[in-house]
Amino acid sequence: MVGMLPVGTRPDDPTPRLSFFWSLPVAELDRAAADEHAWRGSVGEVWPEAMECLAGTAVPGGLAQARYRDTVHSAWHRGRAVLLGDAAHAMSPQLGQGVNMALLDARALRDALRAHGSLGMALEQYARGRRSHIGIYHFWSRWLTPLFQSERDRLARVRDLVFHPMSRVPGGRGQMLRVLTGTRRGWLGTMPLPDAFLEALDGCRARQGAPSGTVQLAPDR
Ligand SMILES: Cc1cc2nc3c(=O)[nH]c(=O)nc-3n(C[C@H](O)[C@H](O)[C@H](O)COP(=O)(O)OP(=O)(O)OC[C@H]3O[C@@H](n4cnc5c(N)ncnc54)[C@H](O)[C@@H]3O)c2cc1C
């Protein structure tokens, strides 16, 4: 898998930045970037247009290694200790939900601590609520990983044939956005978004001159 993500600017530098990612099996990590020429050749073969953006990137010095794994715990808390974020539920980054989920964990823990005088009950409510949301994301990220990051080229061809057209089927785009915004709950349920948030979103669209409703999450908001 190869890609670039716009990541904004630095506080003291208005240059827009891109984060570049290139994924490999862990066993190949150290060897892959050791030979700069070969590495640039492999990237250029897959994505020639990216080479211009990477011209100023030192190899391997300008590349950081990141590893990930699936984390599944039978319990998220014991005594006064509680797990949040990746410690509770690390998953492959296919759906780009790790930060969303970690922030939602923090909010749910805050709410549970405010609602219950008993620490045990608060941690239980937090864990139950968050697990019921995260379960489907764990499932999807695990099952989608081989479609994006594996040597199974046939699966990748099926992915290309199915995913793009699916985003154009009426209702399909909204459903995909539901998943990608982290607001799916279970197979078909949704997490309601606060009215104030939706109004702020409409305000952003209006300021950018986009017709309201260009990006619709789903008819049920
Ligand atoms: C390649 C890759 C791409 C990703 N892409 C996305 C994406 O596009 N969108 C998205 O939402 N998420 C993405 N993620 C996932 C996201 O980075 C994580 O889900 C998120 O950072 C989890 O936050 P966290 O606070 O739980 O853990 P972390 O961000 O891992 O923070 C844990 C912190 O604890 C520190 N620490 C560890 N041990 C100790 C110790 N003993 N004492 C003190 N400090 C310690 C660590 O140094 C670290 O700073 C990606 C992850 C990877 C690996």
Domain that holds residue 179: 173-207
Does residue 125 contact residue 132 with C-beta atoms inside 8 Å? no
Q: What pLDDT is recorded for position 211?
A: 54
Residue 50 falls inside a structural domain: yes
Contact 122, 130 (CB under 8 A): no
Nearest 5°: the CA angle 136, 125, 121 is 155
Per residue in 86-138, pLDDT (tens digit) is: 999 999 888 889 999 999 999 999 999 999 999 999 999 999 999 999 999 99
Q: Check pLDDT > 50 for residue 213.
A: no
Whether 88 is in a domain gets the answer yes
Q: Are residues 141 and 182 in the same domain?
A: no
Query: How much is the pLDDT for 94?
Result: 80
Probe residue for ligand 1, chosen from 1, 95, 99 as the CB with the greatest number of ligand atoms within 8 Å:
99
Cα(90) to ligand 1 centroid in Å equals: 9
C-alpha 153/C-alpha 159 separation (Å) is 10
Question: Per residue in 46-88, pLDDT tens?
Answer: 999 999 999 999 998 899 988 888 889 999 999 999 999 999 9
Please report whether residue 46 resides in a domain: yes
Same domain, yes or no: 133 and 179: no
Query: Ligand 1 centre from 144 Cα, in Å?
Result: 20
Residue 23 lies in a domain: yes
Q: 87 and 29: one domain?
A: no
132 and 179 together in one domain: no
Which residue, by CA, sits nearest to atom 32 of ligand 1? 86
60 CA to centre of ligand 1 in angstroms: 22
**What DSSP element (H or E) covers 123?**
helix 119-148
Both 83 and 139 in one domain: the answer is yes
Tally of domains within the chain? 3
At 175-188, the pLDDT tens digits run 888 888 899 988 88
Ligand 1 centre distance from Cα of residue 121 (Å): 27
* Predicted model pTM: 0.83
Residues 81 and 30 in one domain: no
Mean pLDDT for the chain overall: 88
- Does 131 share its domain with 83? yes
101 Cα to the center of ligand 1, angstroms: 11
Would 103 be classed as within a structural domain?
yes
Q: What residue ranges line ligand 1, CB within 6 angstroms?
A: 66, 68, 85-87, 93, 96-100, 102
pLDDT at residue 47 in the model: 95
pLDDT digits (tens, 9 = 90+) for 11-47: 999 999 999 999 888 888 888 878 899 999 999 999 9
Backbone angles phi, psi at 53, to 5 degrees: -65, -30
pLDDT number for residue 221: 42
66 occurs within a structural domain: no
Residue 41 domain flag: yes
Q: Is residue 153 part of a domain?
A: no
Query: Looking at the structure, do residues 134 and 86 belong to the same domain, yes or no?
Result: yes
